[in-house]
Amino acid sequence: MPIATPEQYAEMLDRAKSTGFAYPAFNVSSSQTINAVLQGLTEAGSDGIIQVTTGGADYFAGHTVKNRAAGALAFAAFAHEVAKNYPITVALHTDHCPKDALDGFVMPLIAASEERVKDGGNPIFQSHMWDGSAVPLDENLEIAKEILPRIKAINAILEVEIGVVGGEEDGVSHDINEHLYTTLDDAIATVEALGLGDEGRYMAALTFGNVHGVYKPGNVKLKPELLGEIQAGLAAKYGTDSKPLDLVFHGGSGSTDEEISTAVANGVIKMNIDTDTQYAYTRAVAGHMFSNWDSVLKIDGEVGNKKLYDPRAWGKVAETAMAARVTDATRQLGSYGQSQS
């Protein structure tokens, strides 16, 4: 199916929240990983979100070039074309964009969508993230407040991070400490600055101990019940329904089913997945190479086996392995079999 229209994307998110599931949002960095996500979502009968970080966009542009805006547009162009061949609907999103990357990443992409919308089309990306977790909350929200009207004008959605996700992802890193837990006061400040949808729709990545990457059990203390407490506090203050904010779960690799279920029950409608799919992809490549070492290498005067060292041979193996992890994610989040395409 074609990439989701703004109306379809809004309907996807509304349905997830009202039904009680979340969409997996997969980070990609190549045409192969895009295809793996589309394959996995199709096998799961699930719609979903495909996203790119600044580092992923740099790689799409060519690792010696690092023109992230051009790389993001190339990613979107490829995704828009190949998605037509699959019977599910996906939205495109740009992930973590810190302050020093705004002018070279999100802002040029918004400008490109503004031109597209001016000509009667849809935005190139359906949502963009501004990651202000490295700056004081007041500055974080002030920048979000400046971006939101432009996002609303192209009928897209803004994602903000309120609190700090520990660990590191594509150069955005934070310590693991008490700042990993968003407070009700933080959430109130967010609503005071951005409203509750009247100034433009946004999703909030409230933090509850989240950490990017994979850590051994016991090293990360997730408190997804905190999301419910914050939602209840906002509902009481503003007289809204029980879950006024659309929430995003970052740093979820290795989370238990119970932690994920609790987060979704408290209003999470989008969960980012990167580390687990990276491992699934690379583990399959490693398996192919180790199992066929005497065919992918030219050893003892032999010429190897072109059918096994052809990048398409191990690429298909890797895509299928990553697709399986994509399908697993839809089961964890409840979007399995929920496609309305």
Sequence spans of domains, the chain: 6-333
Would the annotation count 104 as a binding residue? no
Considering the chain, what is the average pLDDT of its residues? Answer: 93
Given pLDDT bands bounded at 50, 70 and 90, which one contains residue 168?
very low
pLDDT for position 172: 46
Residue 275 annotated in ligand binding: yes
Residue 335 reports pLDDT greater than 80: yes
Residues belonging to the active site: 95
* Percent above pLDDT 90 for the chain: 85
pLDDT of residue 212: 57
Q: Which residues contact 43 (CB under 8 A, 6 or more apart)?
A: 323, 327
Question: What's the pLDDT score for residue 211?
Answer: 72
pLDDT score for 131: 95
Residue among 138, 170, 319 nearest 250 (CA) = 170
- 35 a known binding residue? no
Separation of first and last alpha carbons in the chain: 7
What mean pLDDT do residues 74-91 have? Answer: 98
- Is position 143 annotated in a ligand binding site? no
Q: Is 121 annotated as a binding residue?
A: no
Helix (H) or strand (E) holding 94: strand 90-94
Confidence of residue 14 (pLDDT cuts 50, 70, 90): very high
Fold of 6-333: TIM Barrel (3.20.20)
pTM reported for the whole predicted model: 0.94
Percent of the chain with pLDDT over 70: 93
Q: Per-residue pLDDT averaged across 235-243, rounded? A: 98
- Dig out the tokens for 20 from the structure: 């009680």
- pLDDT-based confidence at residue 204 (cuts at 50, 70, 90): very high
Q: What is the mean pLDDT of residues 177-193?
A: 88
- Residue 106 makes CB contacts below 8 A (sequence gap 6+) with 94, 97, 128, 129, 130, 147
pLDDT, position 164 = 75
- How confident is residue 177, by pLDDT bands cut at 50, 70 and 90? very low
Q: 93 near 51, Cβ under 8 Å?
A: yes
| Chain mean position to CA 50 | 6
pLDDT above 90 (res 76)? yes
Q: Which of 35-39, 168-172, 321-325 has the lowest mean pLDDT?
A: 168-172
141-153: average pLDDT: 98
Residue 106 has pLDDT above 90, yes or no: yes
The reply to whether 269 sits in an annotated binding site is no
